[in-house]
């Protein structure tokens, strides 16, 4: 999957490693770099959701947060 995301563009592969926080400003007033980061995040999200079946996709779309624990 990482190779596929890198093939889309560098920013897309980086988007899965860092959280995107939307600006408080209206989207038409976002600085260019924020818009580019948002677009990369959207492409990465789309690419990651494509292989999911309908049940799993529904679970992911309706999920508000993920609790990750380490042992």
Instruction: Check residue 66 and give its pLDDT.
Output: 66
Instruction: Check residue 14 and give its pLDDT.
Output: 83
Instruction: Check residue 13 and give its pLDDT.
Output: 84
Instruction: Check residue 53 and give its pLDDT.
Output: 92
* Residue 71: both structure tokens together: 């042992």
Asked if 49 and 60 count as a contact pair (C-beta separation under 8 A), the reply is yes
Q: What letters, b where the CB count within 10 A reaches 16 and e where it falls short, cover 4-20?
A: ebeeeeebbbebeeeee
The pLDDT tens digits along the chain (71 residues) read 777 877 888 888 888 777 777 767 777 788 888 888 889 988 988 888 889 999 888 888 887 766 677 76
């Amino acid at each position: 999957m990482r190779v596929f995301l890198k093939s889309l563009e560098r920013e897309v592969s980086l988007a899965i490693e860092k959280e995107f926080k939307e600006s408080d400003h209206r989207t038409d007033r976002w600085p260019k770099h924020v818009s580019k980061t948002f677009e990369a995040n959207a492409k990465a999200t789309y690419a990651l959701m494509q292989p999911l079946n309908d049940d799993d996709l529904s679970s992911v779309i309706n999920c508000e947060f993920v609790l990750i624990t380490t042992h």
